[in-house]
Structure 1
């Protein structure tokens, strides 16, 4: 701004001198009319200089943020705007008033030349500024932050994986094989045992009923179901379950013996004997035939009972209970010597017998002693 003020002062000092010289030399009226044209040209030149100065300052302000964000761009852009160039620009601006004063003293030819040079400088200044702007843009362009492009492939991959999983899920359900009947029954048995262990007998009964419906020819379901009903003191219901097993063609010594035991609990010894058939092997079911011998003895069929006790004593001689049963049956048949021998054998293997049985054997040994 100091340069512009100095230029205006020089113009004011110059105009009176020009008027005095024109009056003394008696310049024609046509020369006085050229003064406004010179003033307009000077103002135009000042405007061009102001525009160039503004563009240069604006370019510096734009380059500073770019240099702050990108040090490499600042290093590259630094040689393009050296300090000596700014001093040269300042010296050029200071020399401008002298050039303007010299231009006012020239002739019309000089004025035309000045106008042409002014036009050329006006065209050159924006071109230079444009070149500077283009260079700054090219230099600062790498410093612009680029938008991250990594998330896009990740989203695509996630979408593809979701699609693949959605397609593979039905395939996995299709390939899944259904459980076999044995596997289903095993799982149901585990559930029934767990319910019984938890004290929920009713739930266990329901599960065993489902197992019986699933496998009606298996004895295990009937036996466990009858056991649970007996646990709830439902003797009649337990008997009905076991009879249903016999009606369904289930042949099992345990089912027959449980039916006989239920009949004995009700005092029906003869009916109990009817459940204890001879269709099983003695070696496979000794307990079954031992209970049958006991029922026969209670029905006073001592000969039949003695026959079964003798067979059992031969099969399992270490079992003192079979010898004790044979001794009692022999004594009932009027054979004391044979009974004494069986009592001696029972006393020899008395470890598994009760204390009351021990006392009874001692008494009968003395009673049957020859």
Structure 2
């Protein structure tokens, strides 16, 4: 009994294990079934997509081929109709061009007269009096031939210079349709005149570029402006070159000549500056500014006699600055007589200034002309424009001369 009981217990223990294995295998089968469904569904969707794309591609290619055939057919019809156009149209165009060359222009708004000539079109009657209905291709051919043979010839409006002119009220639009006839007899010829009001042509702004040679004065002014800019930019060499060109163009321009001489004087090219000023003095001997500038250059070099010789030709010039420079230069060159004459000119110009009388008195004093010096000193004291030191000097010299 114990053995039987033992066997029954073993069976009871084995039965739950087998049940658990069965449930696990069922769960695995259930778990694998949704994955298969998803895979199959995805494959089917992709297949449908590829099939749809293939069908769409076929349809689009078919449509493209059909459109190409239609366009080729229309082009062929147009080419055939263009070949059948009458050659008289070209002759009419040439005739209209000759007429246009002899016409006058109209002051009112122009109109374009389009003359269309449609020539006879003959159609062959069908056999046994039967009329056949035209196909689509024949209709297209007939329409295109009617359109292409209607050649527009643009002519200018004719003008009656005596009385009549074309007015906008007289402009009209006459349109005649082309009729195609079928029958035993030949076709009819129609002359159609199409008068269309033309749109006024917009005015086109045209810009023309022409070269104009500058005059001498204009060229000189242009170079002067460039020279001023070069000086402002401290481009001295460029400014000198431009001023040289201006002097060559306008030799009588003393201002430009002095500017160039000042530039050369600044870089110590004294001889070039003197030569330049001498040329200007030769052209205009009465220009005192050129002489003064040349004299300063000579004084800078210690050439007192050359400076005096430059100033002497205008010794009687009624210019205060010029006479003062002449007097000082004459004293430096030990030419007191010229200096005395210069002071006399200054006293004659401005007698109320005591400096000129004092300068003249000093010259007389140096020349030992004491009586004239005493008179000049006393005259200088009466002007009341001398400084304290000058007054003391005058009083001292009067005392010495008086003794």
Q: So what's the TM-score if we normalise by structure 2? A: 0.43
Max radius of gyration: which structure? 1
Q: So what's the TM-score if we normalise by structure 1? A: 0.46
